[in-house]
Structure formats: C-alpha cells, structure tokens
Amino acid sequence: MLIKLYALSTCPYCRMTKKFLDEAAVDYEMVEVDLLEGTEREDAVAEVRRISGGASFPVAVIGEEVIVGFNKKRIKELLSL
C-alpha cells in the first residue's frame, strides 16, 4: 500500500507519526513541507489543502484514506499492525 506523509519539521505530532511508522518498519514517502521552497512548497501546500481540506499537519495518505493528525489507532487498522 502506498503511504505518503506530509509533515512539518517543527511539528511534534509529525515527529510522533514518523517515529511510529519507523518503529513499525513501514515503508513510506515523506514530504517535509516547511523545508521545501518556491513552487515545490506551493504545490505541496496546495496538495495538502486539496486532500485534507486544511493546512494542518501531519497528513498521512494511506491507500485511499487521508488521516489528519497523529491517529495511531487508524494507522494501525489500515496497516493491519
């Protein structure tokens, strides 16, 4: 399953989510939006807004589902951990 994590380098919940995924040895792609610049950053923010309806982080895309915030329970369910 494709897992993508939109995060901010400064955000504690993003760190918790990263740590959780790392400890579960899950493969995922991560975009640290605040470290991007120019159009790359604009595109990433636009994408986060499009899929989550806001600009709050973290935003995890797991398959078809979009999870805003560090929702350990839901991530576990989706990944059958």
Partner 1 sequence: MSDGTPAGTSRHKRSMFEPGTGIDDLKAFMEPFVARLGYKFNTETEFVDEVLEAELEILERDGDIYCPCRVRSGDPKQDAQIVCPCIPFYRDEFARIRKCWCGLFILADVEDGEELLGVIEEPEGPIDVPAFALADLPSGQIRHIKIGKRDIAVARVGDEFFALSNVCRHAFGPLGEGLMDGYMAMCPWHGWRYDVRDGTTDHPNADVRTFETVVRDDFVFIRI
**From the CB of 71, what's the least distance to partner 1, in Å?**
5
CA 77 remoteness from chain centre: 16
One-letter amino acid at 77 equals E
For partner 1, the closer CB: 2 or 76: 76
**From the CB of 34, what's the least distance to partner 1, in Å?**
6
**From the CB of 48, what's the least distance to partner 1, in Å?**
7
Q: Which H helix or E strand runs over 23?
A: helix 12-23
Binding site for partner 1 (CB under 8 A): 8, 10-14, 16, 33-34, 45, 48, 55-57, 68-73
For partner 1, the closer CB: 1 or 10: 10
For partner 1, the closer CB: 38 or 80: 38
Residue 38 region, left (φ>0) first, then alpha (ψ -120 to 50), else beta?
left
Alpha-carbon distance of 46 to 19, in angstroms, equals 26
